[in-house]
Amino acid sequence: MTSTAPRHDWTLKEARDLFNLPFNDLLFRAQTVHRQHFDPNEVQVSTLLSIKTGACPEDCKYCPQSGHYNTDLEKEKLLEIEKVVTEARSARERGASRFCMGAAWRSPSKKDMPYVLDMIRQVKSLGLETCMTLGMLREDQAVELADAGLDYYNHNLDTSEQYYNHIITTRTYQDRLDTLDNVRKAGMKVCCGGILGMGEEESDRMGLLVQLANLPQQPESVPINMLVKVKGTPLEDVEDMEPFDFVRMIAVARIMMPESHVRLSAGREQMNEQMQALCFMAGANSIFYGEKLLTTSNPEADSDMQLFRKLGIRPEQREQCATEEQEEEAIAEAVEYEATRHMFYDATRESA
C-alpha cells in the first residue's frame, strides 16, 4: 500500500467531507493512514509541569490562569530548578519520554531566560525530550531556547482564525503564527493544536485543522484538547461537545497530518475508557501522563497504565537514555545552582 504523504493544500470542503463520512468508514481510513506511519499499539507519553502559575496578562476565555478572571487559582512563582529536575526524573521513572514545562507568561522576560535555559539543559541531561510553552517568542529568544537543547516548543492556535477573537483579544492570530515561524527558523520541532468545545461551529473546527495541515511544515505534535470548563472563566457554562464529534476530529487530524503525533490532551478525565479507546483507534498516539495538566486535572497514571494494558498499548520508548551517572550529575548541578543563585538575579523571588 502506498504511504500517504503530508499535503499542504487542504480545503475546508475536503475537511468537512472527511468529518461527515460514516463513522466506521472514517475510523477505518484514519487507522489505515496511522498504520502507514506509526506502530498502532504504541503511544508517546509526555508529562506536563507548570513552572510558573497564574496572573497571566492574556484574556483567553478558557484559561483559569488568566489574571482577568476570578477562578480561585493559587498563584505560584517560577519554580526552583532543583524542583523541576526532581519532577522530571520522577516523570521518566513513571514512563514519560518527554517532559513539558509551561509558564503563564505573555512572553518570557530577559531576567527569566537564564533560569529557563538551565531547566532545559538539566532536564535534557536526564535523557528526556524537552518541550516548553512560554507564550510568544521573538526570533532571538527562539534561538536561545534551541541552543540550550529544547526539542519542542508548544504554541497552540486554539481555534480557527475566524472564531479566534471570540476567545482571545490580547494577542492576534498572526502573533501566534509569527511565534511558530520563529520556532521553525531556530530549528526546533513544533507542538501546535487547539481546543474543541468552546462554542465554535463545525466550520471553525475544520478551519483549525486546515490551518494546521497547511502550515509550511506540519507540526510534529498536534494536541487536540477538549475544553475543561473552569468556574470563573467566561466559558464555564458552554455546552458540552458531542463525544463522537471529538473522535471524528481526532480521525480527521490523523488523515490530514499523517506523520504528526496526534495528542489526546486536556479533557481526558471527562472521557470514559471506551471513548479514549475510540480516540486511539482514530489515530491518537500521544497523551499527557500524570494527575495534573498545568492547573486542570488529568487521569491518574495508574489508570492510564491499566487502560494501556486492556488495549495492548505500550508507551513509546526513546532510543537515548541517560545513565545513572548523568542523572546524578544533573541533580548535583541543580543543587549547586540553588546553593549559589543568591549571587545572581533570582527570578523565582518575583511575585507571581
In the chain, where do the E strands start and end?
42-52, 98-103, 129-133, 152-154, 189-191, 194-196, 221-226, 261-264, 286-288, 292-293, 296-297, 314-315
Is residue 344 assigned to a domain? no
**Which of these is catalytic: 98, 176, 191, 248?**
191
pLDDT at 301: 62
Is residue 345 assigned to a domain? no
**Annotated catalytic residue 263:** yes
**Which of these is catalytic: 92, 205, 248, 263?**
263
**Annotated catalytic residue 321:** no
**Annotated catalytic residue 60:** yes
Distance CA 39, CA 175 (A): 35
**Annotated catalytic residue 89:** no
Is residue 346 assigned to a domain? no
pLDDT band at residue 276 under the 50/70/90 scheme: very high
Is residue 352 assigned to a domain? no
pLDDT band at residue 283 under the 50/70/90 scheme: very high
Is residue 6 assigned to a domain? no
What's the CATH code of the domain at 289?
3.20.20.70
**Annotated catalytic residue 349:** no
**Which of these is catalytic: 29, 63, 92, 268?**
63
Domain housing 128: 12-338
The Cβ of residue 275 has, within 10 Å, a number of other Cβ atoms equal to: 16
pLDDT at 323: 46
Domain count of the fold of the chain: 1
Distance of CA 133 to the CA centre of its chain: 8
216 pLDDT exceeds 60?
Answer: yes
CB within 8 Å of 226: residues ≥ 6 apart? 195, 196, 197, 241, 246, 265, 266, 267, 268, 270, 271
The Cβ of residue 78 has, within 10 Å, a number of other Cβ atoms equal to: 22
**Percentage of residues in the chain having pLDDT higher than 70:** 84
Per-residue pLDDT, averaged over 321-348, amounts to: 47
**Which of these is catalytic: 100, 171, 248, 268?**
100
279 is in an annotated binding site: no
Q: What predicted TM-score, i.e. pTM, was given to this entire model? A: 0.84
131 is in an annotated binding site: yes
Query: Is-contact 81 101, C-beta < 8 A?
Result: no
pLDDT digits (tens, 9 = 90+) for 13-63: 999 999 999 999 999 999 999 999 999 999 998 888 888 886 687 888 888
Q: Which amino acid appears at position 340 of this protein?
A: T
Is residue 3 assigned to a domain? no
Instruction: Give the total residue count for the chain.
Output: 352
**Annotated catalytic residue 191:** yes
**Which of these is catalytic: 29, 89, 131, 171?**
131
Per-residue pLDDT, averaged over 261-265, amounts to: 93
**Annotated catalytic residue 279:** no
